[in-house]
Amino acid sequence: MKIHLSHPTRDIELQGPKRVSDIFKELQLIPEAFLVIRGQDLMTEDEIVADGDSIEVRPVISGG
């Protein structure tokens, strides 16, 4: 699977299939701090990312 991380910007590849929660663990990311997007769809932690999928991992940004 191809993973595009937005902050800092980088592209990595992992072997799939994997649950989104397992990707967070492998990349040492805090799940509450990031969104995972496949195409136009937001993914939940229990969804499976297939080996041929491309996803984007974006940080959650809040402001006031």
pTM for the model stands at 0.88
In angstroms, the CA 44 to CA 30 distance is 14
The type of residue at 59 is: P
Whole-number pLDDT of residue 25: 97
Phi first, then psi: what are they for 39, rounded to 5°? 65, -115
Whole-number pLDDT of residue 23: 97
The tens digit of pLDDT for each residue in 4-59 reads: 998 889 999 999 899 999 999 999 999 999 999 999 999 999 999 999 999 999 99
Q: Is the pLDDT of residue 64 over 70?
A: no
Contact in structure between 1 and 52 (CB atoms under 8 Å): yes
Whole-number pLDDT of residue 15: 94
Q: Residue 53: CB partners within 8 Å, gap ≥ 6?
A: 1, 2, 16, 38
In angstroms, the CA 22 to CA 62 distance is 25
Q: What secondary structure letter does DSSP report for 29?
A: -
